[in-house]
Chains A and B, each alone.
Chain A
Amino acid sequence: NAGVTQTPKFRVLKTGQSMTLLCAQDMNHEYMYWYRQDPGMGLRLIHYSVGEGTTAKGEVPDGYNVSRLKKQNFLLGLESAAPSQTSVYFCASSKLASSYNEQFFGPGTRLTVL
């Protein structure tokens, strides 16, 4: 099993450009999450999904959109990138969001917006 994979690993964008980050999991997990991590800020939840076809906003959703058309994939889109979106983006999945449920993380995508 590959676990959770993220594509791409690195990306540099210019202000105003758009891009899509892909997260894929092969563990048949119901829940998927997108986080950003900035120095000194910890992990902040952008959007999450509790199942195929559903999405919900997290703590910092502005400037991002997501889609979960297939259970195994969770896409994060930036329609018009801004320098404030320079960050490391982590995707995670969990079997269910029940008590004592472990999250599995992808290796991260390092995004720089110039």
Chain B
Amino acid sequence: RKEVEQDPGPFNVPEGATVAFNCTYSNSASQSFFWYRQDCRKEPKLLMSVYSSGNEDGRFTAQLNRASQYISLLIRDSKLSDSATYLCVVSASGGSYIPTFGRGTSLIVHP
């Protein structure tokens, strides 16, 4: 089982829709969780960190469920510019905290 798993999609949604992605992780010692965004043929960039209490940044909400070992990303009122691949990143505690990336979920927002 891969350490960090994501549904590759693509998720194809109309503008204005609400869409949610999940990401599951296998290491129960994981401590740090992130969502990165990657545009086509570009480098990944941090979208948001995921805190235990959940966090919100404008139209984006990230949540952590430690019991079920998954994190989620909710995008409300989707824009055309949200079209991208969303990468889930998990780091375990102790040692060197080297992050593990999921394969990414592709989102396509159409008019």
The interface size of chain A toward B, counting residues with CB under 8 Å, comes to 25
Q: Give the interface centre of A43, A48, A50 by most chain B CB atoms within 10 Å.
A: A43
B32 and A100 contact, CB distance less than 8 A: yes
Question: For residue A41, which residues in chain B have a CB less than 8 angstroms away from its CB?
Answer: 103
A99 and B32 contact, CB distance less than 8 A: yes
How close is B44's CB to chain A, nearest CB, in angstroms?
A: 5
A43 and B32 contact, CB distance less than 8 A: no
The interface stretch among A66-74, A76-84, A103-111 is: A103-111
The interface size of chain B toward A, counting residues with CB under 8 Å, comes to 23
User: Can you list, as one digit per residue, whether each of A79-96 has a CB less than 8 Å from chain B (1) or not (0)?
Assistant: 000000000101000000
A58 and B43 contact, CB distance less than 8 A: no
- Give which listed residue, A56, A88, A97, contacts B97 with CB less than 8 A: A97
Q: With A and B bound together, what is the CA distance between A42 and B5 in angstroms?
A: 11
Q: With A and B bound together, what is the CA distance between A50 and B45 in angstroms?
A: 21
